[in-house]
Amino acid sequence: MKNFKSTYYLLILICILTSCHQKISKNENLEHTIRTQIDSINGTVAVAYYNLSDPKDSLFINVDENFHAASTMKVPVMIELFKQANEGKLNVNDSILLKNEFKSIVDGSIYSMDINDDSDDVIYKHIGTKVAIKDLIHSMITVSSNLATNVLIELVNAKNVTATMRNLGAKNINVLRGVEDIKAYNKGLSNTTTARDLMIIMKAIAKNKAGSKADSKAMIDILKDQQFKSVIPKHLPNSVTVAHKTGSITGVHHDAGIVYLPDGRSYVIVLLSKELKDFEKGTEQLAKISKTIYNYVVDN
C-alpha cells in the first residue's frame, strides 16, 4: 500500500512538472517567434503581454525602453477625468467651452491646433460653443482628437495626470503637456511612456483599479469604440473584442489595449515602436505580432 501511494504521488509530480515544462516551452517559443518578427522591423520595438486570466503567463521585450507616448497619453488623461469626477471636481455630463487657444509649457505663449494635423475634423465646427465633457472624452479616445485632448488636459492639469499614473504603479510615464506644443517639442519636452507602464495602466482599467467599477466599465466601453484598427485588432477574428488606444507620429506607431476572447478570457497587449524606416511595413508586422500572441493564448 505504501509503495502504491509513493508511485501515485510520483506520477502526480511528474504530471505537474511535465505540464510546467510544456508551458515554459510554449512561452519560450512565443518569445522566439516574436523576436524573429521584431527583427524584420527596421526600428525599435517593445512588446508587453499579460494574461489577465492567468497572471503567471506574461512576456516582456524592451518594456522599460522610453518612447514618445504619442496619443497613448490620452488614456491617462481619460483616467484623470474620471478620477476628478469622483472627487466632485467636475461632472462629465457638464458642458465646457470648446476653444482653440492653448498655452505652451515653455513660456506661456499661445498656440492653436490645425485642423489639417488632426484626425478629428468634425469637432472644429463646434469651436466657440459648449460641448459635453463626456463627448470630448469619447472623441479624444475613439478618433484621437487633438483639440479635445488639449481642452481636457488643460481642465485636469498634466501634473495631476502623471501623479495619478504614479499612484497606479506606472513609474516612468510622463504626461507633460497637450498636443502640438511645438516650442516644448523643440526643447525635448514631450510626453513619454514605456510598454511596462502602459501595460500597468491597461491592467488597472481591466481590473477596476483605475477607478470605480462603473467608471472602469465606461472607460472600457469607450476604448472598445476605437476607430483606428490597423494594429492589435487587424488580424484577429471578428468574435474578439479589443479595448485599445493607438498613437502615431513620424516613425512611431503604438497600440495598447485589452483583448477579450469569446470564452471569457482576456489579456493586455502593448506594442510600441519608434524610428520606423518603413511605417507601413512596421505597422503590418506589429499587427502580425498581435496575431501571434492571440494564437498562443487560444492554443493554451
Question: Is the predicted pLDDT of residue 166 greater than 70, yes or no?
Answer: yes
Backbone angles phi, psi at 174, to 5 degrees: -130, 120
In this predicted structure, which of 11-15, 71-75, 217-221, 235-239 has the lowest mean pLDDT? Answer: 11-15
The residues, any chain, with a CB within 8 Å of residue 164's CB and separated by 6 or more, are: 76, 79, 80, 83
Model pLDDT for residues 257-300, shown as the tens digit of each residue: 999 999 999 999 999 999 999 999 999 999 999 999 999 999 98
Model pLDDT for residues 28-39, shown as the tens digit of each residue: 899 999 999 999
Angle in degrees, CA 101, 103, 106, rounded to 5: 155
Percent of the chain surpassing pLDDT 90: 86
Instruction: Give me the helix-helix angle, 213-224 and 74-86, nearest 10°.
Output: 150
Question: Is the predicted pLDDT of residue 22 greater than 80, yes or no?
Answer: no
CATH architecture type of domain 37-299:
3-Layer(aba) Sandwich (3.40)
Average pLDDT taken over every residue of the chain: 92
Q: What is the SS3 assignment for 16?
A: helix
Check residue 13 and give its pLDDT.
47
pTM of structure: 0.90
Contacts of the segment 106-109: beta carbons below 8 A, 24+ positions apart: 106/181, 106/183, 106/184, 106/187, 106/189, 107/183, 109/183
The grid coordinates listed for 207 are: 481590473
Model pLDDT for residues 91-138, shown as the tens digit of each residue: 999 999 999 999 999 999 999 999 988 888 889 999 999 999 999 999
Question: Is the predicted pLDDT of residue 4 greater than 60, yes or no?
Answer: no
Check residue 17 and give its pLDDT.
46
The residues, any chain, with a CB within 8 Å of residue 52's CB and separated by 6 or more, are: 203, 206, 207, 258, 265, 266, 267, 268
